[in-house]
Structure 1
Amino acid sequence: MRIHRIAARETNCYLLWGRRGVILIDAGPPGSAATVIAGMKEAGVRAEDLRLILITHGHLDHYGAAAEIQEWCGAPVAAYPGEPEFSQDRRNALPPAQTLRGSLVRWTYMLLSPMARFAPLEADILLEDKAALLDYGLEAWTVLLPGHSPGSLGVVTPDGDLFAGDLFVNYAVPSQPLYLSDPEAWQRSYERVLELRPRMVYVGHGEPFPGVDLDPIYPARYQYRWWVR
């Protein structure tokens, strides 16, 4: 399966090619639609090729540009039904931080995000756990991975690729995200991922990494410490 990453500021968006079309995983923050659309065009994707925009979770940096991208291509937006609605009042919704740095970033985000301008978004399609994506041209299925947010949704391909949203980050070493809505749910999701034994893990922030690097996953405080390996 062909996979192409588009950097929308600090958020990774991914294009996946199926036999009958292309899907986009995550859409980037407000103001990044032009970057994402340009990235799709550079990868050879036309508006009519895009079958689905799948949002892994309801944080602004992952869905803020989705409405503009949808206006360009007309593809439906999908998310997990247990995830809070995508709307203007979600802009300050970040779960508790695990580190001092995370707390500072969270407060800065809460201070500045009301100035962001973006179109509110509603999911056209609600995808449950283990939902097949064949109707959208892709041989893959969803996997529910709560912890970073209540309804975080990942995607698994037959080749063993896992698109994990913000369940993990990988700036220096694979680690927990700065923010967890439910640490116990995160642990259960981590254990589920270990059972999946993915070949590659594609994250929302940082670099993709081999599945063999899932054990261990470092605490959030080690995110930028390359020397811990």
Structure 2
Amino acid sequence: MLPFLLLAQLPAQDRPSSCSNCPTWNVAQPGFRLFGNTYYVGTHGLSSILITSPQGHILIDAALPESVPRIVDNIRSLGFRVEDIKLILNSHVHFDHGGGLAELQRLSGARMAASPWSADAMMKGVVPRDDPQFGAIIPSPKIETKVRTFKDGAVLEVGSLAVTAHYTPGHTPGGTSWTWRACEKDRCLNMVYADSLSAVSEDGFLFSRRSQYPHAEDFEGSFAFLARVPCDLLITPHPEASGLWDHLEQRKTNREALVNSNACRIFTASLREKLKERLATERKQ
């Protein structure tokens, strides 16, 4: 890996690619407002969410290591300063969502918080052995500062901002989803950033084998949360998973296209079906 100071000076198109899919994930996407004080500042293939206030901002997810220049450009083009980010959060620590965390923390000086499992992985710079994708993916760059931890249901605050952490394990043991309220004038929406809940693994890994994945009920608990949480606007770490780009195109003629109070329930139903298919395939092995 290139030294950090050298890497930080490289534009996005000149940075080394982290994986075969990464150039597609890292395609530039201009930042835009989702609703109220909440903005999309990620790439076309990987979400990064900025929640803003006069007292400072919260950033959720940081895409790939090579995505950082794109995220920084988006934040600045929307009229905000990276240096005003006070808290950085994460859905799960895989390199395609946590790869840019270390550099963005250095650039902003923000404090960081994560679930205990994720915080340990971040500060060690490893893919833990109990991650279903252990052996198949590279780790995210090590976080050099202390990553504080929180309990399920904790409310984290920056100035007037308040986001709630929800443990949603399954894709990783430390997965976390986030909820908050965003307002425009006298209208407020329940915003949900739902972590990935796909049953993806290294070859040979079986979610149905308790010796490999001892907490198989993790998925169902996470699905139950998503099915019941108040949810007006759903965002996911891979934006296409929640239909973001289709909805954004529709918003050109329908300003309500991103808003759907059934979005989380619909999303949960599709996740349950995919897990059912995965487990059925495993039973045949």
TM-score normalised by the shorter chain: which range applies? Answer: 0.7 to 0.9
Q: Is the 8 A contact 1:8 1:36 kept in 2?
A: yes
2:165 to 126, 139, 142: 142
Deviation at 1:122, TM superposition (A): 4.8
Q: Partner of 2:121: helix, strand, or coil?
A: coil
Q: Which residue of 2 aligns with 1:44?
A: 79
Q: Which residue of 2 aligns with 1:216?
A: 269
Q: Which residue of 2 aligns with 1:178?
A: 200
Structure 1 counterpart of 2:163, one-letter code: A
Q: Is the 8 A contact 1:51 1:137 kept in 2?
A: no
- Structure possessing the higher relative contact order (Cα contacts under 8 Å, 6 or more residues apart): 1
Q: Partner of 2:47: helix, strand, or coil?
A: strand
1:21 aligns with 2:36: no
CA-to-partner distance for each residue in 1:18-67, whole Å, 9 max, x for gaps?
Answer: 46321110111122211111111112221332111102222111221112
Unmatched 5+ residue regions in structure 2?
A: 1-35, 182-188, 202-206, 208-212, 244-262, 278-285
Q: Is the 8 A contact 1:26 1:54 kept in 2?
A: yes
Q: Partner of 1:160: helix, strand, or coil?
A: strand
Residues 46/93 of structure 1: CA separation in 2 closer, same or farther (3 Å cut):
farther
Q: Which residue of 2 aligns with 1:5?
A: 40
Deviation at 1:215, TM superposition (A): 5.1
Of the structure 1 ranges 49-58 and 123-132, higher mean CA displacement relative to structure 2 is found in 123-132
| TM-score, structure 1 as length reference | 0.73
d(CA) in 1 for partners of 2:229, 2:80: 30
Greater C-alpha radius of gyration: 2
Q: Which residue of 1 aligns with 2:7?
A: none
1:157 aligns with 2:193: no
List aligned pairs for 1:182-201, cutoff 5 A: 183-201=216-234
1:86 aligns with 2:122: yes
d(CA) in 2 for partners of 1:123, 1:205: 27
Corresponding residue pairs, total: 201
1:124 aligns with 2:147: yes
Q: Which residue of 2 aligns with 1:58?
A: 93
Unmatched 5+ residue regions in structure 1?
A: 98-105, 168-175, 223-229
Q: Which residue of 2 aligns with 1:205?
A: 238
d(CA) in 2 for partners of 1:123, 1:198: 32
| TM-score, structure 2 as length reference | 0.60
d(CA) in 1 for partners of 2:111, 2:63: 16
d(CA) in 1 for partners of 2:106, 2:275: 36
